[in-house]
Amino acid sequence: MAVIRNPYNAVLTRAYHNVLRLEETKRKYSRTTTSFRGRNAMEFIYEAAEDGKGSRTQGEIAAYLKITRPSCTTLIEKLESLGYVERRRSRTDERQADIFLTRKGRLVTVYQSTHRNKMIDATLREFTPKEQEIIYRGFLRLNEVFEECIDSLENSASHKEKVKGATE
């Protein structure tokens, strides 16, 4: 009963649903079609450029996104085919490639970030700085809970695979 009446659950579910709808609508109508994960990767590479590093390795991108290297390779290939990133052999380690944003990739990243910042500003406009800080801390804690849930599920799945392997 408490779950059904919990207003936080209702709002969180609605927000999640709206994020999915927004992503679907963007893919349908936008010329800058990338996945949510692709945009996160592009922003991570963009941050490297802003910090003066200029690029990221596939390993860094995979670790940041918490995905496997093969999944990261597929993602980078997709972004490369769209003209958003380019790979260059690392100057320090010939076995690695450095991933850079192209001019088009930088433009798309700035556009998407600007759009998202406008949505955030419109949302927070009516709150005091103190209330904004509380909201920010709430989002930080929500992300911690999500990560704890993911870790728990991954550990449980890993344990089940080990038990299954031991009993075969």
Q: Verify that 85 and 35 share a domain, yes or no.
A: yes
pLDDT digits (tens, 9 = 90+) for 115-156: 889 989 999 999 999 999 999 999 999 999 999 998 898 888
Strand partners, 88: 98
Q: Verify that 122 and 135 share a domain, yes or no.
A: no
Q: Which structural domain, as residue segments, surrounds residue 140?
A: 128-168
Q: Distance (Å, rounded) from C-alpha 40 to C-alpha 29? A: 20
Q: Verify that 76 and 146 share a domain, yes or no.
A: no
With residue 98 as reference, give the H or E element that holds it: strand 97-101
What letters, b where the CB count within 10 A reaches 16 and e where it falls short, cover 131-160? eeeeeeeeeeeeeeeeeeeeeeeeeeeeee
64-83 mean pLDDT:
91
Q: Distance (Å, rounded) from C-alpha 113 to C-alpha 50? A: 14
Q: Verify that 98 and 137 share a domain, yes or no.
A: no
Q: Where are the alpha helices (DSSP H) in 92-128?
A: 103-124
pLDDT digits (tens, 9 = 90+) for 37-71: 888 889 888 888 777 677 888 899 999 998 899 99
Residue bearing tokens 């893919």: 27
pTM listed for this prediction? 0.70
pLDDT score at 131: 96
Residue bearing tokens 């496997």: 68
Residue 12 lies in a domain: no
Q: Verify that 37 and 111 share a domain, yes or no.
A: yes
Q: Verify that 54 and 77 share a domain, yes or no.
A: yes
